Amino acid sequence: MNKETKNKKETRLTPETIRARLQAKYPHGVDLVYINYDDRIEDTGTIEEVITTGYAESFFEAHFEWVAEAQWQSIECVTDETFTTEECEEIADNDALRDAINDWCYEHDRGTPLEDLAKNTGDVWLFYDLGMGISEADCGPEAYKSTARAIAKRLHLSWAKHRGDLIELVNNSYGGRLVVLWNDKLSRFLGEITDKHITFNDPFLCIMDRDQGSGYDVQIEGRLVVEFDRRLLHSDDGAAGYSYAREVCGLIPGPYQINQGWTDKPGRWPVRLSPDTEEIVLAQSGYKKQEARYDAEYKAGGCTFGDDNFRRHQETEYRNEYPCGTHCKRCGQFWID
Ligand SMILES: [Zn+2]
């Protein structure tokens, strides 16, 4: 090729021809942020964010550089695959042509990084707060039966049918929040959920105390339909406190993969949201903030008196003399046996 024809060919590239060439080469668009099959969301805070919001804004903020780098590399690759070496040199020297490539690629990005990450992440533990707090005294010998009855009433369950299960549930717990616990694919919780009711078939009812790290669950037969407020839905790993399924019980996911859905046609008698929903949400977010402060203190090498979580203390030791229990030498926190 002599110099003249080369120059002629170079001058043919314009933003318009760039777009036409890219369109012809990638009729279905491009995938700018490629997620490897083994990339997954490890951070439990991000999982909680996806469960409660449907998105992972803070994840992409935190990984902004990585995302930008991936996009840049993909665009380089698209350019190399679409244009000849001479054309690539011309593009490298011409801002208008480069902008045309960048703009086209961003406009036609069909990548779904969050969906891909969520798919790779797989199953997660979830709970939905049923709007009922139960104290330790409610589970005691005097009160457990009336507490079990109150749960039946709140959830519109037949006392005759579920009496045994509900008494077992209350009898074996030390108080906490009444929730449905289950295991499900993280990818089901991406984006908005507009249905007004959440449904569970043969759900596991659980009373969990995330602060003390205790709880109990039973499976009840039948369908439960509850008014849905996403602020009451949480990741068991990512919400504040001990995770019930993992840390407290070490549960196997299989049996807990119940059939859960949403509906706008709840039928005759759905379980209403508790009138205290705003307070419940507020308490949970306040709890989360306090937990975040405890976490930060622990990561900075300290610990906090008043923090019940054993994991977040620096110098715990067991004391045999009365009162027996575990003691943190650093902050004075004490756990009686
Ligand atoms: Zn301590």
Residues 141 and 178 both lie in one domain: yes
What's the number of domains the chain is made of? 3
Where among 119, 140, 164 does a domain terminate? 119
pLDDT exceeds cutoff 60 at 4: no
The one-letter code for the residue type at 252 is I
- Say whether both 106 and 132 belong to one domain: no
Measured distance CA(49)–CA(40) in Å, rounded: 15
Would residue 288 count as lying in a domain?
Answer: no
DSSP 96-165: HHHHHHHHHHHHTB---HHHHHHHHH-EEEEEEEEEEEE-TGGGSTTTHHHHHHHHHHHTT--HHHHHHH
Q: How far is the CA of 241 from the centre of ligand 1 (A)?
A: 16
Distance 247 CA to ligand 1 centre (A): 20
**How far, in Å, is the centroid of ligand 1 from the Cα of 314?**
5
Compute the distance from residue 119 Cα to the ligand 1 centre, in Å.
Answer: 38
Residue 134 CA to ligand 1 centre (angstroms): 28
Domain contains 23: yes
CA of 321 to the centre of ligand 1 (A): 19
**Is the model's pLDDT at 10 over the cut of 60?**
no
Token representation of residue 77: 């690759």
Report if residue 246 sits inside a domain: yes
Backbone angles phi, psi at 62, to 5 degrees: -70, -30
Cα 48 to averaged position of ligand 1 atoms, centre (Å): 27
Distance 66 CA to ligand 1 centre (A): 37
Residue 291 covered by a domain:
no
Q: Are both 132 and 245 inside the same structural domain?
A: yes
3-state secondary structure at position 179: strand
Q: Mean pLDDT for the chain? A: 93
Distance (Å) from CA 333 to ligand 1 centroid: 6
Q: What are 93's two structure tokens?
A: 């020297």
pLDDT per residue as tens digits for the range 154-183: 999 999 999 999 999 999 999 999 999 999
Is 9's pLDDT higher than 70? no
Dump pLDDT digits (tens) for 298-331: 999 999 998 988 889 999 998 888 778 899 999 9
Out of 124-133, 195-204, 300-309, which region has the weakest mean confidence (pLDDT)? Answer: 300-309
The answer as to whether 256 is a domain residue is yes
Residue 110 reports pLDDT greater than 60: yes
Q: Which residues pair with 123 in a beta bridge?
A: 185
Residue 193 has pLDDT above 50, yes or no: yes
Q: Is-contact 74 35, C-beta < 8 A?
A: no
User: What distance in angstroms lies between residue 334's CA and the mean position of ligand 1's atoms?
Assistant: 9
Judged on CB neighbours under 10 Å (0-12, 13-18, 19+), 228 is buried
Residues 254 and 161 in one domain: yes
Looking at the structure, tell me whether residues 111 and 148 fall in a common domain.
no
Q: For residue 86, report the distance from its CA to the centre of ligand 1, in Å.
A: 66
Give 306 Cα–ligand 1 centroid separation in angstroms: 9
Average pLDDT over residues 248-262: 97
pTM: 0.83
Same domain, 266 and 309: no
Same-domain check for residues 209 and 311? no
Dist. CA 337 → ligand 1 center (Å) = 17
Å from CA of 332 to ligand 1 middle: 6
In terms of domains, do 110 and 148 share one?
no
Query: Token pair 């949403």 is at which residue?
Result: 262
- Strand bridging mode 233-235 / 123-134: antiparallel
Q: Is residue 109 part of a domain?
A: yes
Distance of CA 14 to the CA centre of its chain: 46
Report the SS3 class of residue 262: strand
Model pLDDT, residue 93: 93
- Give the C-alpha separation, 164 to 221, whole Å: 12
Within a domain: 280? no
Work out the pLDDT band at 11, boundaries 50, 70, 90: low
Q: How far is C-alpha 273 from the geometric centre of its chain's CA atoms?
A: 22
Model confidence at 253, in pLDDT bands (50, 70, 90)?
very high
Q: How far apart are the CA of 124 and the centre of ligand 1, in A?
A: 30
Q: CA-to-CA distance for 74 and 54, rounded, in angstroms? A: 26
Q: How far is the CA of 127 from the centre of ligand 1 (A)?
A: 29
Give yes or no: residues 130 and 261 share one domain.
Answer: yes
- 210 alpha carbon to ligand 1 midpoint, in Å? 19
Domain boundary among 224, 239, 274: 274
Considering 82, 98, 119, which residue would you say is the last residue of a domain?
119
148 and 177 share one domain: yes
**Domain enclosing residue 318, as ranges:** 300-336
Q: Does residue 315 share a domain with residue 261?
A: no
* Residue 56: inside a domain: yes
What's the 327 CA to ligand 1 centre distance in angstroms? 8
Residues 64 and 180 in one domain: no
Instruction: Please state at what angle helix 95-107 crosses helix 15-25, rounded to 10 degrees.
Output: 40
User: Which amino acid appears at position 192 of this protein?
Assistant: E
Rg of the chain in Å (alpha carbons):
28
**d(CA 97, ligand 1 centre) in Å:** 61
Q: Write out pLDDT tens, residues 44-90.
A: 999 999 999 999 988 888 888 999 999 999 999 999 999 999 999 99
